[in-house]
Amino acid sequence: MSMVSLPLFLGRCTLSAFSERLMRIQYVSQELRQRLFNVLDGLEIVDPHTHINPHQPAANTLADILGYHYYTELAHSAGVPREYIEEPGLEPKEKVSRIVAGLGPLENTVQYSWLIEMLQTFFGFEGDTLTADNWEAVYDSSAKTMSQPDWSSEVLRRSKLRGVFLTNDFDDELAGFDPEVYVPCLRTDDLVFHLGRKEVRERLESSSGVAIKDVASLRSAIAARFEHFFNRGARACAISLPPDFEPMPVEAASAETALQGVLAAGTQADAPRLRECSQAVFWMLAELCAEYGLPFDLMIGVNRAVYPGGVFQGQDLYDSRVSLIQYRRLFNAFPQVTFPLSVLASVTNQELTSYSWIFPNVLTNGHWWYSNTPTFIEYDLSARLEAVPRTKQIGYYSDMYKLEFALPKFAMYKRILAKVLAERFVIDRGWSEERAVAFGTQVLRDNTETVFYSREGE
């Protein structure tokens, strides 16, 4: 048997003993992460938050893919004029050609990596970059693939998705699709923040059949929409909230005054009236979530239209100075409502972790938008995994607009989950791989089921 000369602190040993020691390093290595990833990647899951249109869930052409705001806004940020890529009436192919021309400066971004991984997985693309030289072939061949009659089912199958949550306007009919696959979710931003708009009130009146004259009728109208959503299989109510919003119950008389002010003056109502009206409607939604047993997804921290000159969906940013203490009244007042929380800024993640560790009705939910990049996910996820009960963490959602994006986005998350489980649980804390995999499975798959699929009678 060969003898290997080793550094002093290891002493001399046989090659076999040497390989034993090396095993430990090997164990620390990429292979452990890969093994954990492989198991997680085999799971069939539900995606608990997307913007999928169930009537057109998959892309028709690459224009639907490259039209995703991540590509247009990053290309615009790197110098492409908005008018050039958003010119009205552009043919899909021309649009793709223009966006591709602006992709070069984005090649480092993780968002770009989603695009490449998706093209490779679904459309047989073999390159690392999409350029002026190769995009057209990809465009044509992918269009062919996308035109298969069962393409969206095929994407779901290959992405191992058994369901995707939708983001439905409150007046959505929710008809014409399978709610077991495309799961309705009542999005309520318009009700809380845009009731001053005549068009919003008209949509509410028309969809509910209730004329809105006062708080009582407003409540009836909204309740009617809850009833509708509940009956069509909705599994959550959701809303995104600006950093300065503070949920608060509003006394009946004040709420009435506020609403009348908003009904009379619309978006031109006094700021305090508008704010109280928002708070009153928000509180109503929480009450209805309690009544219907629906989780209330709160997505906290976005400022809309900070950059009005930006591309479509590329204008929103944030003020990271927000605290969950603003939500203390809500969490205390509705112990029976489950609040899966997303925060926009990673600096709020410790609060999210702590509030989920203390409040039974607060859960961590995914990695949202500007925090949906590996460095922030890795740090935020690590903090959650070690301090929040394992039953209270909903690992990830894709937030996608087209089905093709779930696969690369979830793959990114699963690689990070495998990395954190490998480094912080198997290595640092001596867990077995089996235990790590079971934990990852719960966070990635099981909790979504437990949290959203436990409506009464089910």
- If the CB atoms of residues 177 and 370 are measured against a second copy, the closer one turns out to be 370
* Least distance to a second copy, CB of residue 318, Å: 7
Cβ proximity of 407 and 354 under 8 Å = no
According to CB under 8 A, which one of 179, 249, 374, 446 is a site residue for a second copy?
374
Q: Which of 96, 185, 289, 385 binds a second copy (CB under 8 A)?
A: 385
For residue 439, state whether it binds a second copy (rule: CB under 8 A).
Answer: yes
Q: How many helices (H) and strands (E) does the chain have?
A: 20, 13
Q: Report the residue number, 2 or 55, with the smaller CB distance to a second copy.
A: 2
User: Hey, which residues does 343 pair with through a beta bridge?
Assistant: 300
Interface positions, 274-333, toward a second copy (CB under 8 A): 303, 306-310, 314-315, 317-321, 323-325, 328, 331-332
> Of 36-44, 72-80, 221-229, 399-407, which part binds a second copy (CB under 8 A)?
72-80
Q: How many residues bind a second copy (CB under 8 A)?
A: 98
Q: Of the candidates 174, 204, 337, 388, which one interacts with a second copy according to CB under 8 A?
A: 388
28-36, 92-100, 227-235, 403-411 -> range binding a second copy (CB under 8 A):
28-36
If one asks whether residue 450 binds a second copy (CB under 8 A), the answer comes out as no
90 is a site residue for a second copy (CB under 8 A): no
With binding defined as CB under 8 A, does residue 27 bind a second copy? yes
Q: Scanning residues 113 to 142, which ones bind a second copy (CB under 8 A)?
A: 113, 128
Contacting a second copy (CB under 8 A), which of 53, 109, 141, 260?
A: 109
Q: How far is the CB of 110 from a second copy (least distance, A)?
A: 5
Q: Which range in 21-29, 47-55, 190-198, 270-278 contacts a second copy by CB under 8 A?
A: 21-29
Smallest distance from a second copy to CB 326, Å: 8
Query: Shortest Cβ distance from residue 12 to a second copy (Å)?
Result: 10
Which of 86, 351, 446, 449 is the binder for a second copy (CB under 8 A)?
A: 351
